[in-house]
Amino acid sequence: LAKTTQPISMDSYEGQEVNITCSHNNIATNDYITWYQQFPSQGPRFIIQGYKTKVTNEVASLFIPADRKSSTLSLPRVSLSDTAVYYCLVGGEGFKTIFGAGTRLFVKA
Amino acid sequence: EAGVTQFPSHSVIEKGQTVTLRCDPISGHDNLYWYRRVMGKEIKFLLHFVKESKQDESGMPNNRFLAERTGGTYSTLKVQPAELEDSGVYFCASSQLPGHPADFGTEAFFGQGTRLTVV
């Protein structure tokens, strides 16, 4: 099971671009990289998933270098409502999930 | 379309009592998962149902926990008797495709969780 490492917390201001990097040095060849977002008192919510290079959807972009040992979630022009915990997940061991501690993003006005 | 719903949202019980948590997955989702976060620690897997069958229950902490999914629709998670260390937030998730929430194409939809406090 690929272990992930993320910053514990990050602060930002409204309107800024936020980049959260996740390290996963032991990622396996067939592992995808997935990011979930969790607001207080809610369950995690899927944001984006990718395998390599760049993936973009209406919420975020995901940048994955060629060696796939890290990935960066990019949130364009964050707002106060983007304050949440962001989890980076890589692969899985059967149906088990270890979400990790995640990155607590705090967006200030 | 309704998302994954969990009931109750909060439960406070005394040590030794029994509590039953309920999860209603998204209609048509055969795969249902239970997770929990205990005492501010990481979210950990408990078990996985495919329809009414337990696919993997290796994350269940001990035999005080019993999960069922009769008829392959909603699921219940019973804790009997509850202990102080069972306090935490219990999440349920469902997906159309089987697999890990980080597997390709397997988007897991989570409920809001049930906060269980054992006193």
Do B102 and A31 make contact, defined as CB atoms within 8 angstroms?
A: yes
B chain contacts of residue A90, beta-carbon cutoff 8 Å: 102
Q: What is the pLDDT along chain B (119 residues), one digit of tens a residue?
A: 679 999 999 999 999 999 999 999 999 999 999 999 987 788 888 999 999 999 889 899 999 999 999 888 999 999 999 999 999 999 999 988 776 666 666 678 899 999 999 99
- Picking from B56, B104, B110, the nearest residue to A45 by CB comes out as B110
Query: In the predicted model, what is the mean pLDDT of residues A17-34?
Result: 91
Residue A3 or A24, more confident? A24
d(CA A40, CA A100): 16
Asked whether the beta carbons of A9 and A103 are under 8 A apart, the reply is yes
| DSSP for A36-100, written as a single string | EEE-TTS--EEEEEESSEEEE-SS-EEEE-TT-SEEEEEESS--GGG-EEEEEEE--BTTB-B--
Do B113 and A98 make contact, defined as CB atoms within 8 angstroms?
A: no
- Picking from B59, B104, B107, the nearest residue to A96 by CB comes out as B59
Asked whether the beta carbons of A73 and A47 are under 8 A apart, the reply is yes
Is pLDDT of A39 > 90? yes
On whether any CB of chain B is under 8 Å from the CB of A40, the answer is no
Model pLDDT for residues B70-90, shown as the tens digit of each residue: 888 999 999 999 999 999 999
d(CA A7, CA B69): 38
Chain B residues with a Cβ under 8 Å from any Cβ in chain A: 4, 33, 35, 42-45, 48, 55-56, 58-59, 91-93, 98-104, 107-113
Closest CA to A31 of A63, A65, A68: A68
Extract the tokens encoding B39.
């005492």
Do A45 and B91 make contact, defined as CB atoms within 8 angstroms?
A: no
B chain contacts of residue A97, beta-carbon cutoff 8 Å: 33, 35, 43-45, 100-102
Query: In the predicted model, what is the mean pLDDT of residues A56-85?
Result: 95
Do A95 and B33 make contact, defined as CB atoms within 8 angstroms?
A: yes
- Picking from A31, A46, A99, the nearest residue to B42 by CB comes out as A99
Asked whether the beta carbons of A93 and A102 are under 8 A apart, the reply is no
A chain contacts of residue B93, beta-carbon cutoff 8 Å: 43-44
Band (A94; pLDDT cuts 50, 70, 90): very low
d(CA B13, CA B22): 16
Do B110 and A99 make contact, defined as CB atoms within 8 angstroms?
A: no
DSSP B40: T
B chain contacts of residue A95, beta-carbon cutoff 8 Å: 33, 45, 48, 55-56, 98-100
